[in-house]
Amino acid sequence: MELSIGEKGVQLKEYLANLLAYGLAGDHQIALWRRPKEKKVEIILDNEAPTWVNPTIEDLPSGFLLHPFQETPEKKALLIQAKNYYSLELDQPALSIHEEGPWPNKEIGPAKLEELLVEKTGIRNKNSQSGNHNITRKADFLKTVNKGVEAIEKGELFKVVPAKVKSAELPGHFDLVATLLHLFEAYPNSFVNFFHIPQVGTWVGATPEVLIQTKENFFYTMSLAGTQKAKGDNPIKTAGWTQKEIEEQAMVSRYIVNCFKKIRLREYDEIGPKTSLAGELLHLRSDFKVDMDATNFPQLGSVMLDLLHPTSAVCGMPKEKALEFIATHEKFDRSFFAGYLGPVNIQQETALFVNLRCAQFQGKRILLYAGAGVTADSEPDQEWEETELKCDVIGKHLKTRK
């Protein structure tokens, strides 16, 4: 449903608050997102029960796909179907609402939306995908990093990506819509998203990393690794990268190329590495592009999705050994952190992103997630500081008061 300016106009913020409150109150599945470099927010409401699907994207109906870090044979990916789809231009001063859509309710404001958010995310279910979490202590994280370095020095791993989870309180009078609008403005090059699935989880994020994208006859992916804080008036030009960071990013690129080799795909374009800005953080990035018509590979999106996830940027190399290390040493369930999410088959495009820079709502608290790439040259305290920077990408905006 396209919404346009008209006589019965309402402010964008008012309408988004109403739409989200309507969805939360009715126990709808909700997905809201703003794609990188776009001026449009898209929303899906679905009042059906969550659907677990096989992520063969070419066969899926239009919707929003969510895949946890680790799938099970019974539960692979969740699809929120686009039965009620809304598209709103962010630079419009007012909107006109069609009869079939939820109308603005003057009684619904930030306070009511906050109340619903706390109520609906405070309910926990033993079958919840999020499971129970143990907050990561710094000493435990440093110990895990040291064990990772030891495994690399023994030749068991080339790289591993341990993660942490930290908890924080939501401020009083938390304004979800104001927070989302702040994220849109602060991270124009990121995929800003919010999703709510009753009894499964409610998350917000601003991820800079494309996992796979298919548009018309082209396939896209990227390798993104290395992290430093953006400094100065022109941080991209003044950035300096260590050998450790350069090699870490090169590993991810090699991983993508090796996936191409596995399926005997030789015709692709690679651009990079180059410095990329994501809010207040810098990363090294390379972009890959394939013409699916020229290579006669129309199902490349699903094939590469299966090969790439989880990438070495969120897991490590070799993949199976890194997954084993993570399962042994991490004391919490990553849930949707480091999984992937995004719209599928909407307006002839699929865009799935690695779920980074994200947080999960739990009543009046939030859980913040972040990981750090560990190689032979890693310094544990520096890796901890990197995760603090990554958590702050979302954490500081969740403290917005309006």
Handedness of CA 161, 162, 168, 170 (dihedral sign): positive
Q: With bands split at pLDDT 50, 70 and 90, how would you rate the model's confidence at 172?
A: confident
pLDDT of residue 133: 54
- pLDDT digit string (tens) for 143-156? 999 999 999 999 99
Distance (Å, whole) CA 356 – CA 369: 8
For the chain, the average pLDDT equals: 88
- Bond prior to 273 in cis (omega within 30° of 0): yes
Provide the token pair at 206. 């601003």
User: Which pTM was predicted?
Assistant: 0.90
pLDDT of residue 50: 85
pLDDT of residue 137: 95
> For residues 238 and 98, which has the higher predicted lDDT (pLDDT)?
238
> For residues 240 and 291, which has the higher predicted lDDT (pLDDT)?
291
Q: With bands split at pLDDT 50, 70 and 90, how would you rate the model's confidence at 103?
A: low
Q: With bands split at pLDDT 50, 70 and 90, how would you rate the model's confidence at 190?
A: very high
What mean pLDDT comes out for the span 346-350?
A: 92
User: Count of alpha carbons within 13 Å of 263, Cβ hemisphere only?
Assistant: 20
Residues facing residue 124 across a β-bridge? none
pLDDT of residue 379: 95
Q: With bands split at pLDDT 50, 70 and 90, how would you rate the model's confidence at 201?
A: very high
Using DSSP's 3-state secondary structure scheme, residue 43 falls into: strand
Residue 400 has pLDDT above 50, yes or no: no
What mean pLDDT comes out for the span 360-389?
A: 94
Q: How far is CA 220 from CA 2, 78, 263, 290, 345, in A?
A: 27, 22, 16, 7, 15
Yes or no: say if 10 and 97 are a contact pair by the CB < 8 Å rule: yes
Yes or no: say if 354 and 348 are a contact pair by the CB < 8 Å rule: no
Using DSSP's 3-state secondary structure scheme, residue 98 falls into: coil
Distance (Å, whole) CA 19 – CA 35: 19
pLDDT of residue 130: 44
Between vectors from CA 146 to CA 142 and to CA 151, what angle results, nearest 5°?
145
pLDDT of residue 49: 86
Residue 318 has pLDDT above 80, yes or no: yes
Please state which of the ranges 90-104, 119-133, 218-232, 367-381 shows the lowest mean pLDDT: 119-133
Residue 401 has pLDDT above 50, yes or no: no
Return the residue matching tokens 């082209």. Answer: 218
Please state which of the ranges 39-43, 99-103, 129-133, 285-289 shows the lowest mean pLDDT: 129-133
Distance (Å, whole) CA 201 – CA 337: 11
pLDDT of residue 34: 97
As to burial, measured by CB atoms within 10 angstroms (0-12 exposed, 13-18 middle, 19+ buried), residue 99 is: exposed
As to burial, measured by CB atoms within 10 angstroms (0-12 exposed, 13-18 middle, 19+ buried), residue 48 is: exposed
Residue 96 has pLDDT above 70, yes or no: no
Q: With bands split at pLDDT 50, 70 and 90, how would you rate the model's confidence at 134?
A: confident
The domains of the chain, with CATH numbers, are 4-122 (no CATH), 138-170+206-399 (3.60.120.10)
Residues facing residue 283 across a β-bridge? 276
Counting residues of the chain whose pLDDT is more than 90, the rounded percentage is 69
Please state which of the ranges 124-128, 206-210, 216-220 shows the lowest mean pLDDT: 124-128
Amino acid at 299: Q
pLDDT of residue 7: 43
